[in-house]
Amino acid sequence: MKIAIVCYPTFGGSGVVATELGLELAKRGHEIHFITYSQPVRLALLNPNVHYHEVHVPEYPLFHYQPYELALSSKLVDMVKLYKIDVLHVHYAIPHAYAGYMAKQMLADEGIHIPMVTTLHGTDITLVGNHPFYKPAVSFSINKSDVVTSVSQSLKDDTYRLFDIKNDIEVIPNFIELNKEKLKENIPCHRSLMASENEKIITHISNFRKVKRIEDIVKIFYEIQKEVPSKLMMVGEGPEKENAEYLCEKLGIQNKVIFFGNSNEIDKILCFSDLFLLPSETESFGLAALEAMACGVPVISSNSGGLPEVNKDGFSGYLSDVGDVAKMSRDAISLLQDDKKLTQFKLNALETAKLFDIQNILPLYEQIYFKAINSK
């Protein structure tokens, strides 16, 4: 199949998932065309089946905001005609499904009928899409898609609750490439550079937005380090990072916390981690938790959104109510103080992650593409 993938080319979960999906489909012989405004962060163009087409938005002083949707829909039309694309797979309802629908209509005028699969990732529904300004456009885009998927049952339920959706939504969870997340013994693990032998390493990876409850992470770690010699690794960039740095200083733990910024070496950081913290206000899926579990790292998380579908309470980690810093701290300390239990939870985390291996999830997407093509 010739598949066009439209996504955000950033460090965020939806962009990473879309990129990894495309690369794996290419390995299976499909011709993949990424269409976006810059090269996705995890995209290596080393496969002859992988193509990247940049969307240029001309700058006109006339426009206060440059019309990306118009540029994207025009580019989609050109690429579908040039490469004879079989199916569009757009990740994120706004603006991608909207632009995809415009492209479909322009192509239909020329007698070309192209099916569109829309994958909902989370904030396109719960945050952006639920804004009154965008709500009609999101509902319209989803209802005009040939097939709609969501990354968790929780997100599917939210979509039906928040919008007037006529379409069926199929749940296809996010995935991890277990072969690539080379397990600890295969990665040169420079743990000694980060912490001494008797210290445990706790990690958090995110875009440092308010929804991630970054201050809770610092507060949980503050309690942990009182009981267990430990270091905290904070990976990512975002608006809450400065507040977190200030709070570390205020609590006198700045020497025990390392802020990395954005990193392409997530698996190397996870390989020497003992515990992963994700106390988010909401997570449509919790890809960061899954990436940690794939490296054998247990997770202390909130029980919001799709997290209970990934992190199994009392098995791969522990779940708590949002904001319950005291319980999360107790759970973390009890796990870190018991080496036998910690070792078992690390094995359990990896075992749970295997359920989400890309080899299990990819065929579900292939079935969806065939379904969309046959519905033309």
The pLDDT of residue 57 is 84
Residue 46 pLDDT: 73
Q: What is the pTM of this model?
A: 0.87
Dihedral (C-alpha) 123, 94, 118, 116: value to the nearest 10 degrees? 180
User: Which residue would you say has higher pLDDT here, 283 or 180?
Assistant: 283
E strand residue ranges, 7-58? 31-36, 50-54
Higher pLDDT, 184 or 213: 213
**pLDDT for res 11:** 53
Residue 256 has pLDDT above 70, yes or no: yes
**Does residue 228 have a pLDDT over 80?**
yes
Specify whether the backbone of 176 is left (phi greater than 0), alpha (psi in -120 to 50) or beta: beta
Taking phi first (over 0 means left), then psi (-120 to 50 degrees means alpha), and beta for anything else, what does residue 297 get?
beta
Which of 52-66, 72-86, 196-210, 241-255 is least confident?
A: 52-66
Contact yes or no for 340/187 (Cβ under 8 A) = no
In 61-121, alpha helices (H): 68-83, 98-109
Mean pLDDT score, 136-165: 92
Mean pLDDT over all residues of the chain?
Answer: 90
Region 295-321: what's the mean pLDDT? 97
Within 10 angstroms of residue 43's Cβ, the number of other Cβ atoms is 21
Q: Are 333 and 227 contacting, i.e. CB atoms less than 8 angstroms apart? A: yes
Q: With beta carbons less than 8 A apart as the criterion, state whether 290 and 310 touch.
A: yes
Of the pLDDT bands very low, low, confident and very high (cuts 50, 70, 90), residue 306 is very high
* pLDDT exceeds cutoff 70 at 181: no
Domains of the chain with CATH codes: 2-175+357-374 (3.40.50.2000), 184-354 (3.40.50.2000)
What one-character DSSP code corresponds to residue 176?
Answer: B
Pairing of strands 2-6, 147-150: unpaired
- Higher per-residue pLDDT: 57 or 65: 57
Residues 6+ apart with CB under 8 A from 347: 296
pLDDT of residue 184: 46
